[in-house]
Amino acid sequence: MSSAAGERVFVGLGANLGDAVATVRAAIDAVGALPSTRCLTRSSLYRCAPIDATGPDYVNAVVELRTALDPEALLLALQGIERDFGRERPYRNAPRTLDLDLLAYGERRVDTPELVLPHPRMHERAFVLVPLAEIAPDLPWPNVAGQAIERIAP
């Protein structure tokens, strides 16, 4: 792990193609190995059905990082990891070998065509909020009801 000062950051991970559990675990390691970045903690793995899409169930997790990378540089690095894991974007909400979402970057608010922070739909997603509440119970995350989610591994 790199040493890193900087901001408290949360990244969501998900996969629903191939060996999704192994992919999410390997992606957690890849994210923690980014320059000027340190993985502070990771959630359990969770399984849930796709939202606004079809395909196999997703395996999801969230990691808490400390990074000196600025939000745009971190986004580019996360997209590079997705490509390394075979991510393709044939259409909106297509099944994915790996999906990495920058959820929150300290208290920063960003609204550009490339990046919106905090993530604009995270408050609607149990697969984000349940793992977030697990690793960061000190923060005021909203509650999402009516979405089935199952913890599958620590």
Could you confirm whether 87 is annotated as catalytic?
yes
38, 42, 47, 87: the active-site residue: 87
- Told to judge if 101 belongs to the known catalytic residues of this protein, a careful annotator would answer yes
* 8 within 8 A of 37, measured Cβ to Cβ: no
How far is Cα 77 from Cα 31, in angstroms, rounded to an integer? 8
Q: What digits encode the pLDDT tens for the residues 60-80? A: 999 999 999 999 999 999 999
Please determine, for residue 94, whether its predicted confidence score (pLDDT) is greater than 70: no
**H helix or E strand, kind and range, residue 77:** helix 71-84
Domains belonging to the chain, first-starting first, are 7-153 (3.30.70.560)
Q: Pick the catalytic residue: 101, 109, 121, 151?
A: 101
Question: What pLDDT score does 138 carry?
Answer: 85
What residues pair up with 8 in beta bridges, in sequence order?
66
Q: Which of 83, 96, 111, 151 is flagged as catalytic?
A: 96
Average pLDDT, the chain: 87
From 38, 47, 99, 125, the catalytic residue: 99
20-32 helix and 71-84 helix, angle to the nearest 10 degrees: 140
As a whole number, mean pLDDT of residues 35-45 equals 96
pLDDT given at position 42: 97
